[in-house]
């Protein structure tokens, strides 16, 4: 049996992941990632990461840390809350900067890449743990050649493989995804059968550091102040006609229809955002159509392709994967050519590639 570090968020999925691994006979260590911007008192063991002695928390709810601790106590496993506020501040800055560049960030992918499947491995090494496990809905299995590979979850409605494309390939042998082979209803059923206190806890639907899911207000507050630049601009049609005004491009994303606050007589969508002029360009749905995209900083969980490959590509977390030809480039980017036009290709989001249910890799839409 192995020593395993489990990232426990206080939700039902990671709690059941920890319980499943324990029931399989493994030695489980529960970790909660504190990333509030107001640091709490910590105690430190020489040569080890900071561990909280307090439950105070900033942007991540204190109730979640308390829930994770209660589950760990019930399972009788060690539990620690680690200080990641400095690293997480980089993710918050990335989130704000991308919106102000007219792009649409995906902080969950960045958090998974930098922290959950990044820094947590450093902690796992420090405590002699062989594996890091999370409550993500995806499956870690063996490919035809015997190598470890990530596949879509059994529960298609909950599949989170899209946000895992950034994991380093070399780490796959040390990753565990215990809940990906279950439907969500089964996970809640197991939590109830085992008497876990989070069995009925609602799923989080928001970005963890954005209050009330109002990302525009968050960006303005984060980048506000007396010296903040005026961010108002025009809303224009694709032919250049001025249709209205806005108070900041951080309110918009490509493909957006609601909240445009202009009267056109027909449905209009954000077609592109021009950060230099602060113009938001809107048009008809057909003007959103794209037949190709370029994605930079590709990360492959398979042997990196050297020539064009036919696969399926997802351009957003909630969009379906569609047929495309993906052509790798020498600069680490790739070109995806779609068999049929796709709608709402947003710079800053991820283009993620699949072969059937297998996650191949992905990159950031440029």
Catalytic site positions: 111, 208
- Alpha-carbon span 149 to 127, nearest angstrom: 25
Residue 311 CB neighbour total at 10 angstroms: 20
- Alpha-carbon span 190 to 182, nearest angstrom: 10
Q: Report the side by side order of strands in the sheet with 242-246.
A: 242-246, 233-237, 279-283, 269-274
Which residue is listed with tokens 């980048």?
223
DSSP E strands in the chain: the ranges are: 3-7, 27-34, 42-44, 50-52, 79-83, 131-133, 138-142, 148-152, 175-176, 233-237, 242-246, 269-274, 279-283, 289-300, 309-314, 322-328, 334-343, 350-355, 358-365
Q: Are 116 and 33 in contact (CB under 8 A)?
A: yes
């Amino acid at each position: 049996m192995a020593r395993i570090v489990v990232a426990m968020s206080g939700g039902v999925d990671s709690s059941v992941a920890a319980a499943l691994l324990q029931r399989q006979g493994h030695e489980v260590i529960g970790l909660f990632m504190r990333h509030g911007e107001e640091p709490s008192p910590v105690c430190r063991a020489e040569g080890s990461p900071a561990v909280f002695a307090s439950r105070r928390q900033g942007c991540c709810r204190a109730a979640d840390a308390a829930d994770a601790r209660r589950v760990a106590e019930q399972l009788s496993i060690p539990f620690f809350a680690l200080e990641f506020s400095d690293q997480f501040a980089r993710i918050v800055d990335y989130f704000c900067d991308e919106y102000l560049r007219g792009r649409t960030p995906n902080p969950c992918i960045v958090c998974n890449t930098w922290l959950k499947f990044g820094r947590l491995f450093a902690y796992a090494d420090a405590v002699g743990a062989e594996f890091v496990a999370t409550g993500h809905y995806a499956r870690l299995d063996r490919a035809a050649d015997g190598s470890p590979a990530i596949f879509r979850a059994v529960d298609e409605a909950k599949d989170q493989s899209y946000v895992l494309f950034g994991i380093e390939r070399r780490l796959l042998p040390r990753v565990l995804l215990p809940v990906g082979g279950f439907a969500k209803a089964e996970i809640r059923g197991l939590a109830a059968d085992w008497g876990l206190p989070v069995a009925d806890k609602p799923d989080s639907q928001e970005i963890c550091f954005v209050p009330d899911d109002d990302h525009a207000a968050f960006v303005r507050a984060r980048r506000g102040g007396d010296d903040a630049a005026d961010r108002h601009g025009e809303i224009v049609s694709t032919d250049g006609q001025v249709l209205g005004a806005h108070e900041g491009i951080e309110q918009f994303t490509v493909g957006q229809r609601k909240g445009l606050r202009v009267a056109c007589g027909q449905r209009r969508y954000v077609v592109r955002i021009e950060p230099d002029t602060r113009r938001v360009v809107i048009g008809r749905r057909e003007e959103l159509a794209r037949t190709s995209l370029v994605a930079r900083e590709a990360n492959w969980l398979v042997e990196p392709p050297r020539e064009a490959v036919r696969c399926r590509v997802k351009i957003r977390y909630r969009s379906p994967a569609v047929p495309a030809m993906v052509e790798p480039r020498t600069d680490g980017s790739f070109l995806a050519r779609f068999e049929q036009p796709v709608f709402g290709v947003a710079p800053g989001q991820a283009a993620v590639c699949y072969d059937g249910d297998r996650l191949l890799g992905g990159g950031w839409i440029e």
